[in-house]
Structure 1
Amino acid sequence: IGVDGRHVLNGNWAVSPPGTYEAAGTRVVYTRAAGPEETLRAAGPTSQDLLLQVLLQEPNPGIEFEFWLPRERYGPFQAQAQALGWSLRQPQPREVEPQPAEAPAAPAAVSPRTPPPAPDPCSPCPDTRGRAHRLLHYCGGDFVFRARVLSRLQQAQETRYEVRVQLIYKNRSPLRALEYVWALGRCPCPRLDLHREYLLAVQRLISPDGTQDRLLLPHTGYARAWSPAEDSRVRLAARHCPA
């Protein structure tokens, strides 16, 4: 609802179709899938207040939200949030990965022999399965969540995964829908495959000067392919952590 009291979408008991809507001086993108999840996104900045109303005819599935402040306003807001006891994580910029320039098209050449695939330069990871390992990392981790791996970027001495958080089992501060998870080395253990879902136990790592705030997957840490059985094991591990 805008400041004029008019519904921007889904008003007066009518369901609006997914699409882009003009509101509060910006464009709001509304998406809705077959399931219960609905999403509103706006690049901003907004010039007016927006009121979000939720009508439920079933148990409340929960609402997640995130927002960005101009750089000059983030410091005062952070100080106020800390005074109120809120736990905030500093946002990490999401850059566009550089794309290699397209080479000019060349005539197709038929190779007489297909070269063998290059060997994997990474050594196999040690076997870390077991209840004790799961319990150690669940209780000692700052965050435990289910996530889908969207991308992987290998840098000099570390690997960065972009993941979509789908279900949170444990968190010491709020998590965003999209997060970066870092692992040490170009051949981290455990290694995460693209487009697969995992249960992850990670630690929060803040640099001494406070400029970096990362989620770190420890070496030989807990990262298991998600399954209903592993979900049950994680929930059971939560009951055995010391208070």
Structure 2
Amino acid sequence: MGKPRPREAEWLAPHHHTGRAHPSRSSLLLLWTLLNCSVGGSAQGPGEWTPWGSWTRCSSSCGQGLSVRSRHCIWLPGEELCSGDSHEYRLCQLPDCPPGAMPFRDLQCALYNGRPVLGTQKTYQWVPFHGAPNQCDLNCLAEGHAFYHSFGRVLDGTPCSRGARELCVAGRCLSAGCDGLLGSDAREDHCGRCGGTNDSCLLVQRVFRDAGAFAGYWNVTLIPEGARHVRVAHRSRNHLALMGFDGRYVLNGNWAVSPPGTYEAAGTRVVYTRAPGPEETLRAAGPTSQDLLLQVLLQEPNPGIEFEFWLPRELYGPFQAQAQALGWSLRQPQPREVERQPPEPPAAPAANPSWTPHSTPDPCPPCSDTRGRAHRLLHYCGSDFVFRARVLGRLRQARETRYEVRVQLIYKNLSPLRALEYVWALSHCPCPLLDLHREYLLAAQRLISLDGTQDRLLLPHAGYARPWTPAEDSRVRVAARQCPV
């Protein structure tokens, strides 16, 4: 890796024989004379390298090893030696070694087992010693004794330490650059290009400040396929949640807080940390192989969620379009309509106490009783959404009834809910019938039309719709723990 040694160069002096075919002695003398006379005998610049030779076989038969190639310097008297390295080393990766295989350093120490050392006839069994200053010396500990001995340098390609990717080359511990060459300082830029200058990607860096209108899951951003160097951070009692493209949560989903640690998602490792501050962070090196949806589980007002990632330039436009669409679910907003109620009758005159207001009888028959633990558990576990909501409006049509509700608390959701939603019942006389301005616990299913133009929350006939009470709230939370995973 340093300057070539004289033996690595070929000095083509008149009486030097290389064993290869070369011009005649007289021709070389003439060439040497002409070159020296043309400049008055002064030195002529550096010599020239021969082309690189082929890469050698990997130094290891399994796992990580070393491959080397070399070149030679051709120089004439009066010239300087070639600048640069005469050898290049690169990593080579073979299939993992079988369990129980002896590590390379252990094998080198074991070669001295039973051989007399230290000028005596006494022999020892040797194992690697990793506490010595120079990692690339073959330092071996005598088993059963409190001393170690250095047998010189380890062989090239020996890992510097246990589990390290750095390898020893000529007594030096070298790491590989992104080009695979040991000792190279080539590094990937944020775009993933070796030796690049970050000009093929863009930094997406924003702060999500939506405070949310209810406790539950809220979309923060789409982390698209191809994102690198993802970082998300916030300081609050809220929790970051990550959902895969298949709708399954990677962490902090289904109202359960995941432990800090490393999670596999979209072809990369996501490192999730939670400090007692409270502070949460998500980090992933990427690139992501699939889209990920970043959400926040709100428990208090959102003070701001910082997120950033690097994205290839060609993917930035599609990401912008997806991110803008992410804020609106497929349930498009519709004009608010409230079922018209008959006008309240004027106050009855005091002189006519027998007057009673006219009332229009409800043509729908009464609903059957659907109370009970089994009914609650059946609909909670089989539903896509369970939430607490206040009924704001009701519109009866020929074949269906539409409720406008304000979502107040979410117990279970397959996808994000807005603060104002429509819930549909496929009947003019739905059961149970929801009263205006009352709060209910509702279990709904997601119903998407075949052409994909309608995405509705469906309240099944005789489904779960109970007036909210603290006792019913407690029963729902118990049901959530009893659903099969």
TM-score normalised to structure 1 length:
0.60
Whether the 8 Å CA contact 2:236–2:303 is kept in 1: the answer is: no
Superposition deviation, residue 55 in structure 1: 8.4
Whether contact under 8 Å (2:385, 2:445) holds in the other structure is yes
1:92 pairs with one of 328, 332, 335: 332
1:149-228 mapped onto 2 (5 Å cutoff): 149-228=391-470
Q: Which residue of 1 aligns with 2:471?
A: 229
For the residue of structure 1 that corresponds to 2:456, the secondary structure is strand
Paired with 1:145 and 1:64, the residues of 2 have a C-alpha distance of 24
- Structure (1 or 2) with the greater strand fraction: 2
Asked if the contact 1:87–1:174 (Cα under 8 Å) also holds between the matched residues in 2, the reply is: no
The Cα of 1:63 is off from its aligned counterpart by 3.9
What residue number does 2:361 align with? 119
Given that residues 448 and 456 in structure 2 are in contact (C-alpha distance below 8 angstroms), is that contact kept between their aligned partners in structure 1?
Answer: yes
Between structure 1 and structure 2, the one with the greater Rg is 2
Deviation at 1:78, TM superposition (A): 9.8
Corresponding residue of 1:130? 372
SS across alignment from 2:367: coil
1:238–1:94 distance in 2 versus 1, CA, 3 Å: same
Contact map agreement 1:87 1:173 (CA 8 A) in 2: no
3-state SS of the aligned residue for 1:239? helix
Measure, in 2, the Cα distance between the counterparts of 1:92 and 1:55: 33
Gaps of 5+ in 1: 1-30, 32-53, 66-75, 101-109
Q: Secondary structure at the match of 1:89?
A: coil
Q: Would you say the 8 A contact 2:392–2:405 is kept in 1?
A: yes
Percent identity over paired residues: 71
8 Å Cα contact 2:406-2:420 kept in structure 1: yes
1:179 is displaced (CA, Å) by 0.3
Aligned CA RMSD, in angstroms, stands at: 3.8
Deviates more, 1:112-121 or 1:200-209: 112-121
Higher relative contact order structure (alpha carbons within 8 Å, sequence separation ≥ 6): 1
Counterpart residue identity of residue 119, structure 1: P
Give the 3 Å change call, closer, same or farther, for CA 63–143 of structure 1 in structure 2.
Answer: farther
User: Quick one: structure 1 residues 140 and 79, their matched pair in 2 at CA, closer, same or farther if it must change by over 3 Å?
Assistant: farther
How far 1:195 moved relative to its partner? Answer: 0.4
Gapped runs of 5+ residues in structure 2? 1-210, 212-233, 238-276, 279-298, 305-317, 341-348
Indicate the SS of the match to 1:193. Answer: coil
Displacement after TM superposition at 1:118 (Å): 2.6
Instruction: Give the 3 Å change call, closer, same or farther, for CA 98–137 of structure 1 in structure 2.
Output: closer
2:424 corresponds to which letter in structure 1?
Answer: W
Task: Tell me the distance in 2 between the aligned counterparts of 1:64 and 1:198.
Answer: 30
| DSSP 3-state at the match of 2:379 | helix
Secondary structure, in 3 states, of the residue corresponding to 1:182? strand
User: Displacement of 1:144 after TM fit?
Assistant: 0.2
CA-CA distance at 1:117 after TM superposition: 2.3
1:33-66 alpha-carbon deviations (Å, 9 max, x no partner):
xxxxxxxxxxxxxxxxxxxxx986998615499x
How many residues get paired? 171
Q: Distance in 1 between matches of 2:369 and 2:303?
A: 36
Given that 2:338 and 2:393 are in contact with CA atoms closer than 8 Å, whether structure 1 keeps it comes out as: no
Q: What is aligned with 1:240? A: 482
2:391/2:437 contact within 8 Å kept: yes
Could you tell me how far apart the structure 2 residues matched to 1:191 and 1:99 are?
A: 13
Moved >3 Å (runs of 4+): 54-60, 62-65, 76-81, 86-89, 96-100, 112-116
Q: Aligned equivalents of 2:476 and 2:235: distance in 1?
A: 33
Aligned 8 A contact 1:206 1:213 in 2: yes
Q: CA deviation at 1:116?
A: 4.5
Question: What displacement does 1:182 show?
Answer: 0.3
Q: Secondary structure at the match of 1:93?
A: coil
The TM-score normalised by the length of structure 2 is 0.31
